[in-house]
Structure formats: C-alpha cells, structure tokens
Structure 1
Amino acid sequence: MTSAADPVIDATRLVKTFGTPTADLTRVTSGWVSLFSPIGWGQRSRPFSAADPAPLLVLAAAATALAVAVMVLRNRRDLGASLLPERAGPERAGAGGASFLGLAWRQQQPTLIGWCLFAALLDGIAGSLGPVVSDVIGGNDSLRELILRLVPGTRAEIIDVFTAALLGIAGVLAAAAGIQAMLRLRTEEAEGRAELLLATPRSRARWLGANLILAAASATVVAAVAGTAATAGLTLSGVGNGPPGLLIGSALAHVPAAAVFVAATAVAFAAVPRVSIPLGWAMLAGGLVLGQFGELLRLPAWLQDVSPFRHSAAMPVEPFDPEAALTLTTIALAGAGIAAYLFRRRDLTP
C-alpha cells in the first residue's frame, strides 16, 4: 500500500537527479544531468562561494573545438550550399501548401514543436516538485514571503501560489512562441522570398493575417501543453490540483496577454521592419520584468500595469477575469488591424 509520503520521496529523488538542495533550499549541488548543459558547467564554477575556474576552462576548450570544427566544415562546402546533400522536393505543393496559412504551418511546424517540448519539460518537472516546494518553503518564512510576492494580495496555500507563478511563466513561453512565429515574416522579407511570394495574385493582408492566425494558435497550443504538463507533474507527485482541466484553463488565461505581444510585434514589423526582431524580443523582456517580477523589484504600480501579463488572472489563486481577457483580446485585434494597414502602405524592405 502506498503511503502519503511516497510522492514527496519520489519528488525528492527527482530533485537529486538534477541537483541536491540544502535543507533551506538556498543552494544546490548540481547533478550529473547538468554536465550536458553549458549553463550547468558555468554554475559549477561557483563564483560567489567556492570559486573554481576548472569548469570555465572546459567551456573555453569546448568553444575552441567547436569553432575549429565550424571552420573546417565551412571550407568543405560551396557558398550557399549545404554540407549534406539536399533532397528534391515534390513537384507540386500539397493541399496545405496552396494557401498562406498552409505555407506558414509548414514553415513554423518545427519551431512550434520545439516550444511545446520545452514548455512540457519545464512545467512537468516544476509541477512534480510541488510537494518539495510546499514542504521546504512552508518552513522558511523568508522564502514564503518571496513566493507570496509573486502573486501579491493573496493568502492562498503555498502550492497554489507556486503553481500560479509557474503558469505565469508558461504564459511568457506562449508569448515567445507567438512572437517567433510572427518574426518569421521579417526573415522572409529580408531574404527576398516575400517579394516572390507576393508577386502572386495574393494580398499582403492575407499573408500577414495567415501568419497572425498561426502565431496566435502557436501561443494557445504552447500554453495548453504547459498546463497539461503541470497537471501531470502535480498529479504524479500526489498533490491535488482541483477539478480536471483547471491548470490547463489557468495556463490558457494568459493567452490574451500573449496575443497582445504578438500584435505589437506585427505592428513593429509593419512600421519599422529593420528593427522589428530586436524590438519584438525587447517588448517581451520588458513585459516579463514588469509583469512577473515588478512586485519583487518594488516597481511603481502604474509601471507594472504597462505589461499585459499584469492583467492576466493568476489562476488558480485568483478567479478568471473575463473583462480583462476581453480587453486584452480587443487590444490584440486592434493591433492586428493597425499592422495590416501599415503593411499595405509600405514597400518591402530588404
């Protein structure tokens, strides 16, 4: 018969696979899995405690070896050619390739799969740590106060606050997926393929609209995957997470905010295409800092309210706010309309 403590033990074993935390959860000794990541090697240098330059030497050696490999491979291929032989594509496009939306899907499918896998991995692992987080933070007043400040104005259980903060990060991942899908347009334009594509009897608005639809769908799918993974992680760890589908809905509550970032990126692409890529990511970074960490940084409330993430309901701690979601959706639709208008009025920019 399985005891109530077994899920906590299993979660602790999972933690030790990635690292062994101290009793107060303020320091972690990295596990063997971290050796597969350059970040893991960097963390092993411990510059703020027991400084050890050896891991940095490993990173420097790896970077040098990779640089040499790149130069060797570069000298063995022709300019503009691939090192591996390319397969000839089909003579005719399939049913999906005959439309802007189908073309956008073909181009964005690998990227979307990557974002979904990352969101599932992050939220699944973090969700499985729920019992450990609840147990450790519950006995540490400083960490408890820190976590509670991620969702201000609430007195919910620590595990619920942790879950709300986790799903807030899932909303950021959803916005990032949508932004990357939107910025694909700039790549197509800068490399000259958009000019060939728009030489057909198709309007610019349809091209932009198809990619906007796919970007919004990407954000929705990534949020749903993150919510599903968090649900699975918490369930396997033995933590009750309310009615079925609650965390999926909680993750989807951040989609309207993500849609605002997608629309803002579309406006940047239509108005200032040459700086649209750094501007799109800068807007997301600013929204993340203001919306997710503004309270921790003690920023003014009016400045925090600039971020769309600030207006998303922090479910399951807070109830869903349909008025805020409708307002964010309206702003996103207005931004899409402005982007279409501006894009029709400008020339293609290499």
Structure 2
Amino acid sequence: MNAVFTLMLQRIRRDRLQLLIWIVGIALLALFTVSAVDKAYGDPSGRQNILQLAVANPSILMLRGTPEGGGLDQFVFFEIFTFIALLAGLMNTFLAVRHSRAEEESGRAEFLASTPAGRTLPTVATIVYGALVNVVNGLFLAIAFIVGGLDAKGSIVAGCATAAVGLTFLAVGLSAAQLMRTSRGANGVAAAAVTAAYVFRGIGDALGTPSADHLHMTVAWWSWISPIGWGQQTLAYDQNTLTPLLLNLALTAAFLALVFVLQSQRDSGASLLAGRLGRVDARSFLSSSFGLAWRLQWPTVVGWCVGSAFGGLLTGTLAQAVSSAAAADPTVEKIMAGLIPGGKGSLVQLFISAIFVMVGVLAAACATQVVIRMRQEETEGTAEQVLATRVSRARWLVSYLTVGTVSIVLVLLSGAAASSLSSWAIGDTSAQAEDSFSAAAAQLPAALVYLTVLALVFVLLPGWTVGLGWTLLGLGAVFGLFGGLVGMPQWARDLSPFTHSPVPVGTSTDWTGGIWMLCIAVAVAILATVGMKRRELNTA
C-alpha cells in the first residue's frame, strides 16, 4: 500500500496544473451556465418555448440532449450536461494514456517494473488516482451548481453522473493503452470512443419520442449504448435516479478486468495490436526533414480529417432541417445568431458558420499534435539524430510548421467537402457548398495562431509544450464556442482566437479579424524560427 500511495503522490505532482485547469474550468463553466440561463431564460414561459422548439428540431437535441421539464434546474441540465460529460471523458482518457502507454514509451514503466512495485501496482495506482480525480471533479461540479442556486439533491446527482462517465472513460483509456503501441494511437482510439459515445447519445436523443406537452423526451435505444447517455438518464433535477449509473460501473469493471488480463499476457512496451512492419528501403521522400515529419504525423492527420468530415456531414444534412424549424418559429434564427459573434445572414449560413467553428477547433487540435510530436521527438532523442545531419534546427522547426499548416488545410477541406457532398446528396443548391468552403477558410487564421504560438512555447519553454498546448486549446474552445451561451464577459471571450474568426454570412464579410490573426501567426512563426537557431536541444 505504501508503494501505491507513493505512486499516487507522483501522479498528483505531475498532473497538478493540468487537473486544476480541467476541474476548475468545468466547475466555472457550469457556474457561468447557471447565471446565463437565469438571465436569458428566467421566465418559465420562455424556457418552455425554447424546449418545445428543441423537441421539434432534432439537430438541437443531438448537440444538447433531451429536455426533462421547464424548470430552471432542468433547463440548465439540458443545456450543459452532455458537453460537461464529453469534457470529463476526454480528461480521463488523456490521464489514463499519460500514466500507462506513455510511460512504457518513455521507458519509465520498465524501471518501475524492476522495483518491488512490479507491473501491477502502477496500474492500480492509476486506477485509484483516476477514481479520486473523478470524485473531486463531480464534487466541484455539484458545488458549482449549488452555489449557482440549483437544487442540492439534483446537483449531487449531476456530479455523480459526471464522475461515473469519467470513470468509465478512464477504463476505456487504460484499455486503449493495452491495444495500441504508441500513446498517440491510444489517445486517438480513446478519444474516438468518447466521440462515438457522444454521437450515439445524440442520435438516440434526436430519434426520441416527445411527451404531449413537448417538455419531456423518451430517448431511443441508441442513447442506451452510450456511457454519456447513461449519465443523462439520471434525469437530474427531475427524477434524480442513480440506477443508470450502475451500467457505467459495470462497464468500468469489465474494461478494468480486460486491462489486467491483457497486461499479464504481454511484455512491457508491446501491444495487442502490433505495429506495421516498415519497408526494407526507405522512400526518397524521407530524405528530407519535411518528408520525415509528414511520415510521422500523417496517421494522426487522417484521424482529424475523418472527425472533420463527420462534422461536415452533420452540417450538410441538418442545415435544411434548421431552416424548416425557423419557418415554423422565427425565434430559431435569433438563437442561431447568438451562437457566433456578429452573426447576420440567412439561417443556413449561420448554422454552417456555427458548426465550422467546431471544425476549426479540430484543425487547431491537429496543429497542436504536430507541435507536440516535435517535442516528443526531442525528448526521445530522435531529433538529435536528425540534427546530426545537415538539417539545421531552424529548418527542422520550419518543416514541422509546414506540416502543421498542411494538416490544418486538409482538416478544414475535409469538413467543407463533406458538407458540400451531403448537401448535394439531399438535392440542395451549390450555394451551400460555397458557404461551407467560406466558413472553412474563415477558421484557417485561428488554427494557424494556435500552431505558431505553441511552436514559440516549444522554443522558449519546451517542458510546457504538451500541458500548455492542450490547455490553451481547451480554454479557447470553451470561451469561443460557449462564451456567449453561458454569459461570459466579452473580455474573456476576446481571449479566444475563435471569437475573432470572420463570419462569412450575408452579402459582405468582414475579414479584418482573420487578416490580423494571419499577420500575428506569421510574426510568431518568424520569432520562433529565429529563437530556434539559438536554442539547444532539451530532453528534460
């Protein structure tokens, strides 16, 4: 037990900054949401109208969840729970992989295995540590809701639901670490599982059966195959039942049992899915620093492109459904206009622009992983081998910046192309295709800012690259995507590059924000390149 306790303390010390940002950020998001909903929808009749509109529009249910009453408490749960559960899932998968597969990649797991701790106790310590993190996260969330004035019992149920969803994805992340040979692959599989759970829950909600007053929903079976859906079915602030969380605990136990079985059957550093054998002779393309950087990164880029294409498909197929809902209720357009700053134009254009902000976040995430890969190459010592050739440090950095730029463009083009194809498939005009490509182009500057700023962090503070990279992206996404919905002050929203992305709707578009961000990205890239010339390699 002393060994487990020591390992837990090591994990807490290592993650203290990241976890503080995750847990406090989720709690503040919940508190802001309560305040914003109270100000914007304080009138019960107004909340009922919004819920009835949501029930009539499956696209809103897919993104938000299902309504369970018109009270302020139930409305807040409808507004924010599924997104909080998504964040909790990602937090736990990253945590699980960081303390399992990433440890094996770095060689630290092998050193620990040679001590009395062996191979089992570090995994036990990660599970206990992860469970403690989820309890704290659920507690902070419940306190935030209570401080916001919501019912205490419902707030505790919402906190328990979030903790249970997070615990399930902790086990999923540990299982992915057994399957994949690299931490990048494990993170990709685990994040895909979180996304799939969110999508299945969304499909089940969208296909659900509304009550006679259109203030409640009975979800379809799709929601019952999603851990996020199980958390939602606690019906916090309405029925307050914890029974669905037994499914979360059962699935968690099953995945953890699988983890110990697989770990006992494989060598340290090995994986259930073996890596593909390489070629005997390398292609000439790999003789350049850019070619090598692209070869290392392209599988990750493909994964982000697939996610972007899925977002594009949603955009193309649901845009006309939103337009039909607006014909039945003119307040829909007002709601959509509030999703993006400066939103003016047709409802379809507003919807496309709002969804492509999310695609822009995916592009920025892809760029973040490019820079993180560069940092991993440095810490693992492989960058030193590249720089032992005629490749200079500045050229090496520029190669990764080029790969990052290409990756951003490909992710945005994937979303725009999927949106256009889906709109053509349902018989829409070419106007929507033009709107999709314009909306994708509008997200390019913000993603480039994330790429270059993180590259500068890599040059100046290399040890902060991974933690600060995901933290900046997470905060920017929350402030940019949900700042307006949860009532954040304008100065806080302005901290996010996504807030300043052009909104290509209407007859004219103001590209000023995009031009300024492009100028900032170029200036920061030059500064990072100059700084890299003077910087020594740092493997610590």
Q: Give the TM-score band, short-chain normalised.
A: 0.7 to 0.9
The reply on whether 1:254 has 2:254 as its aligned counterpart is: no
- More deviation in 207-216 or 53-62? 53-62
Aligned partners of 2:203 and 2:223 also within 8 Å:
no
Q: Which of the residues 20, 25, 28 maps onto 2:208?
A: 20
Query: Structure 2 CA distance, aligned partners of 1:26 and 1:203?
Result: 63
Distance in 1, matches of 2:216 and 2:311, equals 20
Measure the CA separation in 1 of the matches of 2:209 and 2:358: 22
Deviation at 1:150, TM superposition (A): 1.6
Which residue number corresponds to residue 129 of structure 2?
Answer: none
Tell me the TM-score normalized by structure 2.
0.57
Deviation at 1:156, TM superposition (A): 2.6
Corresponding residue of 2:514 = 325
Equivalence for 2:459:
270
Work out whether residues 316 and 422 of structure 2, in 8 Å CA contact, stay in contact via their aligned partners in 1: yes
CA distance in 2, matches of 1:318, 1:302: 28
How much does 1:260 deviate? 0.5
- Cα shift at 1:221: 0.9
1:161 and 2:350 correspond: yes
1:78 aligns with 2:270: no
TM-score using structure 1 length: 0.85
The answer to whether structure 1 residue 147 and structure 2 residue 336 are counterparts is: yes
- TM superposition shift of 1:124: 0.6
Q: Quick one: structure 1 residues 264 and 205, their matched pair in 2 at CA, closer, same or farther if it must change by over 3 Å? A: same
More helix by share: 2
Take 1:190 and 1:210, find their aligned partners in 2: how far apart are those partners?
Answer: 18
The number of equivalent residue pairs is: 342
1:84 to partner: Cα distance: 5.4
Instruction: Report the CA distance between 1:211 and its aligned residue.
Output: 0.9
Query: Counterpart of 1:291 in structure 2: which amino acid?
Result: G
Change (3 A) 1:315 1:194: same
Q: Which residue of 1 aligns with 2:64?
A: none
8 A contact 1:104–1:210 mirrored in 2: yes
- Residue 244 of structure 1: CA displacement? 4.6
Report the 3-state secondary structure (helix = DSSP H, G, I; strand = E; otherwise coil) of the residue aligned with 1:242: helix
- What does residue range 147-226 of structure 1 map to in structure 2 within 5 Å? 147-226=336-415
Whether contact under 8 Å (1:76, 1:83) holds in the other structure is no
- Greater Cα offset, 15-24 or 147-156: 15-24
- Give 3-state SS (helix, strand or coil) of 1:150's partner: coil
Larger RCO: 1 or 2 (CA < 8 Å, sep 6+): 1
Deviations 1:113-170 (A, max 9, x none): 1111111112212431223222335545665433221234444332221121112221
**Corresponding position of 2:221:** 32
Counterpart of 1:338 in structure 2 is: 527
Q: Which runs of 5+ in 1 are unaligned?
A: 1-7
What secondary structure is seen at the aligned counterpart in 2 of 1:280? helix
The match for 2:305 is: 116
1:62 offset after TM fit, Å?
A: 1.6
Does 2:527 match 1:349? no
CA distance in 1: counterparts of 2:258 and 2:244, whole angstroms? 21
Q: 1:26 to 1:72 in 2, by over 3 A?
A: same
Distance 1:84 1:9 in 2: 42
The letter for the 2-side match of 1:348 is: N
Q: Which of 206, 227, 251 matches 2:416?
A: 227
CA distance in 1, matches of 2:349, 2:209: 22
CA RMSD, aligned part only? Answer: 3.2
Which residue does the alignment assign to 1:292? 481
Aligned to 1:281: 470
Q: Residues 131 and 94 of structure 1: is their aligned pair in 2 closer, same or farther, counting only changes over 3 Å?
A: same
Contact 1:182 1:211 in 2 (8 A): yes
